């Protein structure tokens, strides 16, 4: 059965494109070059594995369709050079490039602030680990809100790595595969002391920041404090866009510089704090005042840059944007590190040891698992366009 929106009312071939009026009245315009490049025949490639056998260099700039006609559930095109292409019409309709259709294919984040504290949507480990549904539910939370909290996991070493393996590959760094956040009296890193850690994204000093950060609580802080702070970086960036469009625009264009140096390590990046795609949608943020270094910028940009940076920093510091969660032993927090900032309130390490184990997973592996499970479990939107992160 052909759906009405995949049936064709009218086909018009103009000089550059094929214009289809669909059964429901919607109109799509497909450029010949796009259609020819997307040919699904065995000679041109295998769309199943996304393997292509033709190059744009093989397609003449003047390519045009000699004939276009509906054929069963497909659309058949005969090209001027004699090649024939057959496209499933549902496939074409799903790729309409009008603004409304493109917007509908796009994942829209659910923005939040401190008022979401009562609605953490924590998933019990028994549910999470029962089947693919549990895992997908957690990954969909990460996709929609930027974080997911799994409660009552086994509070022992090794749990983090086995859960991470279900999502993707752990990205090994100079810290190793996993990193233990424990309070040490002589700690050089902020995270390993009892002081307040202001909200930040991790590893902003890498050209490609980490995609997901997974925090597994093994021992909670005692005597109060040590509460995890989360900030929705997308929400805060949208606030800045609304309040001061010029500052927002500047931070999407002018990079900040970050570094981390110790022992035999010297990492540096120059990266934009807010990354937007071609359509202006935010696809990633990074923010870490503690890891930033003196910016190397044209003199005329310096004061503007600091003004914009200050406005963003003030929003990040505003506790109305803070979601506060007291992690308990066995809690596992999965964060999209290119969307959600994390921090921690101060606590007294003398009251007892606090131990969190941390690892990172690449963004592309997480997206892949989300798509594969979504398709397997018949989720609408398994093919949504997802934010690509803060890489510049
Ligand atoms: Fe951190
Ligand atoms: Zn072909
Ligand atoms: Zn459309």
Q: Do the Cβ atoms of 178 and 368 come closer than 8 Å? A: no
Ligand nearest to the CA of 101: 3
Give me ligand 2 centre to Cα 77, in Å.
10
Give me ligand 2 centre to Cα 7, in Å.
22
Q: Would you mind telling me the total number of residues written for the chain in this entry? A: 392
Give me ligand 1 centre to Cα 199, in Å.
8
pLDDT at residue 188 is higher than 70 = no
pLDDT at 166: 97
CA distances from 382 to 169, 370, 387 (A): 21, 7, 14
Ligand nearest to the CA of 340: 1
What are the beta bridge partners of residue 275? 284
- Spatial distance between the Cα atoms of 288 and 14, rounded to a whole number of angstroms: 52
Give me ligand 3 centre to Cα 27, in Å.
6
Give me ligand 1 centre to Cα 147, in Å.
14
Q: Convert the pLDDT of each residue in 212-229 to its tens digit.
A: 999 999 999 888 899 999
Neighbours of 165 (CB within 10 A): 11
Give me ligand 1 centre to Cα 203, in Å.
8
Q: Convert the pLDDT of each residue in 332-386 to its tens digit.
A: 999 999 999 999 999 988 888 889 999 999 999 999 999 999 999 999 888 899 9
Residue 342 in 3-state DSSP? strand
Ligand nearest to the CA of 198: 1
Ligand nearest to the CA of 290: 1
Neighbours of 54 (CB within 10 A): 15
pLDDT at 177: 96
Give me ligand 1 centre to Cα 17, in Å.
50
Give me ligand 1 centre to Cα 270, in Å.
19
Give me ligand 2 centre to Cα 298, in Å.
50
Give me ligand 2 centre to Cα 276, in Å.
34
CA distances from 89 to 21, 69, 96 (A): 12, 11, 11
pLDDT at 262: 85
Which of 390, 384, 367 has the alpha carbon at shortest distance from 277?
A: 390
Give me ligand 3 centre to Cα 97, in Å.
6
**Following DSSP, what letter does each residue of 193-209 receive, concatenated?**
SSS-EEEE-TTTTSSS-
pLDDT at 2: 82
- Spatial distance between the Cα atoms of 168 and 353, rounded to a whole number of angstroms: 30
- State the distance between the two ends of the chain, measured CA to CA, in whole angstroms: 45
| 237 sits in which H/E element | helix 233-243
DSSP H stretches of helix in 6-98: 32-37, 89-93
**Binning pLDDT at 50, 70 and 90, where does residue 392 land?**
low
Residues 6+ apart with CB under 8 A from 293: 257, 258, 259, 268
pTM: 0.94
Ligand nearest to the CA of 197: 1
Q: Which residues surround ligand 1, an ion (CB under 5 A)?
A: 202
pLDDT at 301: 97
Q: Convert the pLDDT of each residue in 253-306 to its tens digit.
A: 999 999 999 889 999 999 999 999 999 999 999 999 989 999 999 999 999 999
Q: Do the Cβ atoms of 163 and 153 come closer than 8 Å? A: yes
Give me ligand 1 centre to Cα 351, in Å.
22
């Amino acid at each position: 059965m052909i759906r009405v929106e995949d049936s064709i009312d009218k086909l018009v071939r103009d000089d550059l494109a094929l214009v289809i009026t669909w059964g429901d009245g919607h109109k799509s315009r497909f450029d010949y070059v796009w259609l020819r490049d997307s040919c699904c025949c065995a000679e041109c490639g295998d769309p199943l594995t996304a393997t292509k056998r033709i190059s744009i260099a093989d397609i003449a700039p003047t390519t045009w369709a000699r004939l276009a006609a509906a054929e069963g559930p497909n659309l058949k095109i005969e090209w001027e050079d004699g090649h024939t292409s057959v496209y499933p019409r549902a496939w074409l309709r799903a790729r309409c490039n009008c603004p409304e259709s493109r917007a509908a294919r796009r994942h829209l984040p659910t923005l939040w602030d401190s008022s979401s504290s009562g609605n953490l949507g924590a998933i019990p480990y028994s549910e999470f680990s029962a089947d693919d549904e549990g895992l997908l539910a957690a990954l969909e939370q990460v996709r929609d809100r930027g974080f997911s909290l799994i409660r009552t996991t086994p509070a022992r070493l090794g749990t983090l790595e086995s859960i991470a393996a279900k999502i993707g590959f752990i990205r090994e760094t100079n810290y190793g595969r996993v990193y233990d956040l424990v309070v040490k009296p002589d700690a050089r890193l902020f995270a390993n002391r009892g002081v307040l850690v202001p909200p930040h994204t991790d590893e902003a000093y890498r050209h490609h920041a980490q995609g997901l950060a997974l925090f597994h609580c093994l021992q909670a802080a005692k005597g109060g404090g040590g509460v995890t702070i989360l900030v929705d970086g997308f929400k805060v960036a949208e606030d800045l866009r609304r309040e001061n469009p010029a500052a927002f625009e500047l931070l999407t264009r002018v990079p900040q510089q970050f570094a981390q140096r110790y022992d035999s390590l010297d990492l540096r990046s120059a990266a934009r704090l807010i990354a937007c795609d071609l359509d202006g949608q935010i696809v990633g943020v990074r923010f870490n005042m503690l890891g930033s270094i003196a910016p190397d910028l044209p003199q005329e940009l310096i004061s503007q840059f600091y003004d914009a940076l200050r406005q963003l920093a003030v929003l990040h510091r505003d506790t109305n944007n803070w979601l506060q969660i007291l992690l308990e032993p066995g809690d596992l927090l999965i964060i999209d590190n290119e969307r959600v900032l994390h921090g921690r309130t101060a606590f007294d390490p003398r009251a007892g040891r606090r131990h969190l184990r941390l690892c990172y997973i690449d963004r592309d592996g997480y997206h892949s698992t989300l798509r594969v499970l979504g398709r397997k479990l018949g989720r609408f939107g398994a093919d949504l366009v997802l934010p690509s992160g803060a890489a510049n």
